[in-house]
Structure 1
Amino acid sequence: MSSADAVIREAAWLVDFNAVDGLPALHASQGGPFDVVQAYLPRTPQQRRPQLYVIRRRLQEVRTAHVRRMARHWFELRVVWPTSSPSGAAEGPQQALDDAVELVLQRIGGLMLDKTHGGRFLSVAEDPAEVTVEYSDPTESLPNRADLLCAISYAADDVETNG
């Protein structure tokens, strides 16, 4: 594993679905709420589609012992949620965004007693106090029929290496 592929590994965890483990699906092809779940922001995002992008906000090399070090990644999930709804009401898309965020938080939380995201990391979101969700102000989006936005942030520790 390399710190360079951490964003790809985390996106793989978010899109990976196994109905047996009890974690929710996020991608629409598996019954989840997002049409797009991918690593990195595209140059031209899709329009009017629920989207989730994994980006890395920070990378820190942590010295864990004299000759051991560990990469700590701060991930941000950018959520783009369309404001259109069949009823035309603004409340529906806001509630749908909250519902989708709840599924993402369950997925980030991982399996009971396993915070490795399927062995992709040493631990992810181990401290729930460090998992944050920040919503953009909907009063700016709704009048312009623009998308609702939020960012979910958390840290992941990679496996230790000699160095």
Structure 2
Amino acid sequence: MRIKLTTGVLALMLAGCGGEVASDADEQGAAPAASASGDGAEASASADAASGSHEMPYGFTSYPGASDYSRWDHSRDGHVGATIDMVSADAPQQVIDHYVAAAEALGMTVHNNTMLGEDHWLTIHRADGEQALLLTVEPKNGGSQLQFGFSNLESEEAA
């Protein structure tokens, strides 16, 4: 249910920049299948089950020691986004603290840091005020499930 809620929020976020994501995750936390639709829409998906550091948009990197990394890039009518999932053995608050510090080091600001039940929601904006990402972290098997929704990637280099 949490993953479905998260993907619903990500779909709304992407709808604001013209993108659209349709996904359906099962209750065991399997990665959702992503697609984009509409004129000029493109989508790609990749998955890597091995641990390791992965570069992400805006200078962020995957969480240290995270596994089950997967990324879906999508675009529609010139609006580009990416959805990235991974799993960590660390507690959700450790993950949130890591990405708050990373955002500040990259010159970005934390616009919203909210806890909804056991889920943590973090919205980070670029220096120009545009939203860069929405990060959702929820408890999973004594660790954390992370899902990033990156937006406004078409102007990433300009930021």
TM-score normalised by length of structure 2:
0.37
By percentage of residues, which structure has more strand? Answer: 2
Larger relative contact order (CA 8 Å, sep ≥ 6) = 1
TM-score normalised by length of structure 1:
0.37
